[in-house]
Amino acid sequence: MKILALDSSSLVASVAIITDDILTAEYTINYKKTHSQTLLPMLDEMAKNIDLDLNSIDAIAIASGPGSFTGLRIGAATAKGLGLALNKPIIAVPTLEAMAYNIYTFDRFIVPIMDARRDQVYTGIYQMEEEEIKIIKCPCAIAIEELLEELNRWQEKVVFVGDGIPVMKEKIEEKLKVSYQFAPAHLNRQRAGAVGALGSIYYQKGKIETAAEHKPDYLRLSQAERELAQKNQKILKMREMEEKDLEKVFEIEKQSFSIPWSEQSFLETKKNKDFYYWVAEEQGEVIAYLNLQKILEEGDIYKIAVRLDKRRQGIGEQLLEYAIQEAKKEGITQITLEVRKSNTAAISLYQKKGFSQEGIRPDYYEKPKEDAIIMWKRVL
C-alpha cells in the first residue's frame, strides 16, 4: 500500500510518501511562502528523488482541517486535482488528529492548539489507547481560557503541540494547574508523515471518498460567511412547520441523510403531540428544518438540516437557537442529540451552543457505519 500525503493547513507545507509501514520520503517547509508556490514543486522534487510514479499510489491523504482557510483550499484543490487526474481516492485526515499522532505517548492527554486569532484556538483532546488515537474532545474553535478550564477539570497530564503554543504560552503558564509539556521542535508542527500514517489506517478501514466529494472542514465560518450570516439573520423567519411545508422539508431530508425518513414518517410524527417541528424560511421558502421529541422534561433532537445551497451561512445555528428557546416554553429542561463522530462542523456548532459530549453509541449510523457521539445541554 502506498499513500501520498499532503498538509497545507497552516504555515507549514509538507508532502510525504508512506509505503506500507515505512515513511519512504517526507519534505517539510515551515517558511513564509504561499502554498500555491511550494506544494506541487515540493511533490515534484520528492517524486524525482525516490523515482516515484504517481500512478503507483493507492490513495491521497490530505489534512482536511481546521486551519488556514487559504491553506486548506490550496491543499484540497491539489488533492482533488491529483485524485481526478490519477483516478485515486481521497483520505480526509483531520488536521488536529494528525498533529496528535505525532506524539506517541500513553500517559497523558495530547492537545493540539492552532492559533485561530482573537484569543481562540482550534483544538481537540486526544489520548493514545491500544496504539490508536482516542478522541476525548472533538475538534472545535474555542477561547484558550475555556480550554484551560476544561483541562484543569480533567486533572490529567498534558502535552501541547501546534503553532498556538508561542501565541498562548503565557496564558497556559498562568492558568493551567495540571502538569504539562510542550512538544519539541521536531514534533510540534504539522507533518505530512503523520497525515500519511493515519491515512493508511483510515484507508484500511474504508474511510475514503472520491476527489469530487472531498471538501475541507473549516470548523467555523470565514469573515465573508459570517457577514452573510448576519445579513441572513435579518431576513430569516423561524416558525412552526405546517403540513404545506412537507414537500420542501422532504427535499432537504433527501439531500442531507444517507437513509432519509419517508414522507409518511414526517406526517405521522407531525401528528404526534410530543413531536415539535420548526423551519427556517427565507422569502417565503423553507430552507431548513429541525424536529424534536419531548419525553417528560427532556427534548431529543432527531433531525436538523439545511438546504444544500444555503449551508455555511449560519442558518443551522439560528434555527437551533430558536428551537432551544421554543423548547424552554414547552417545559423542556434538557436537550440531547446524536451526531456522527466525523461531523466535526456540527459538533463544533453544538459545543458553541453549550452542548457537551456525554458518551458514544458504537456503530449507530449506517451508510457508512459510524459511531454516534451523544451530546447534552441543560436549558433551564
Domains in the chain, please, with CATH? 2-96+192-204 (3.30.420.40), 103-176 (3.30.420.200), 223-378 (3.40.630.30)
Name the DSSP letter for residue 260. Answer: P
The pLDDT score that the predictor gives to residue 34 is: 82
CA triplet 308, 98, 14: central angle to 5 degrees?
95
Name the DSSP letter for residue 308. Answer: G
DSSP three-state, residue 261: coil
Cell of 43: 511533490
Residue 226 · residue 315 · CB < 8 Å: no
DSSP three-state, residue 27: strand
Residue showing cell 448576519: 230
Cell of 116: 485561530
Residue showing cell 486535482: 81
The pLDDT score that the predictor gives to residue 226 is: 62
The pLDDT score that the predictor gives to residue 344 is: 83
Which amino acid appears at position 132 of this protein?
A: E
Q: Which of 350, 364, 365, 366 is catalytic?
A: 350
Which amino acid appears at position 339 of this protein?
A: V
Q: Which of 338, 358, 365, 366 is catalytic?
A: 338
The pLDDT score that the predictor gives to residue 232 is: 59
- Concerning whether 350 is annotated as a catalytic residue, the answer is yes
For every residue of 172-223, DSSP letters joined together read HHHH--S-EEE--TTTSS--HHHHHHHHHHHHHTT--B-TTT-----SS--H
Q: Nearest CA to 22 among 207, 186, 197? A: 197
The pLDDT score that the predictor gives to residue 343 is: 86
Cell of 299: 427534548
Cell of 81: 486535482
Q: Are strands 59-63 and 120-129 parallel, antiparallel or unpaired?
A: unpaired
Round to whole Å and give the CA distance between 171 and 232.
Answer: 36
The pLDDT score that the predictor gives to residue 228 is: 63
The pLDDT score that the predictor gives to residue 185 is: 92
Residue 319 · residue 280 · CB < 8 Å: yes
Residue 285 · residue 248 · CB < 8 Å: yes
Blockwise average pLDDT, block size 10, the chain, 380 residues: 96 96 95 87 96 96 94 95 96 96 90 92 91 85 92 94 96 96 94 96 92 87 62 77 93 92 91 94 93 94 93 88 93 94 86 88 88 90
The pLDDT score that the predictor gives to residue 286 is: 95
For every residue of 81-150, DSSP letters joined together read HHHHHHT--EEEE-HHHHHHHT---SSSEEEEEEE-STTEEEEEEEEEETTEEEEEEEEEEEEHHHHHHH
* DSSP bridge pairs for 129: 132
The pLDDT score that the predictor gives to residue 222 is: 63
DSSP three-state, residue 243: helix
Which amino acid appears at position 352 of this protein?
A: K
The pLDDT score that the predictor gives to residue 233 is: 58
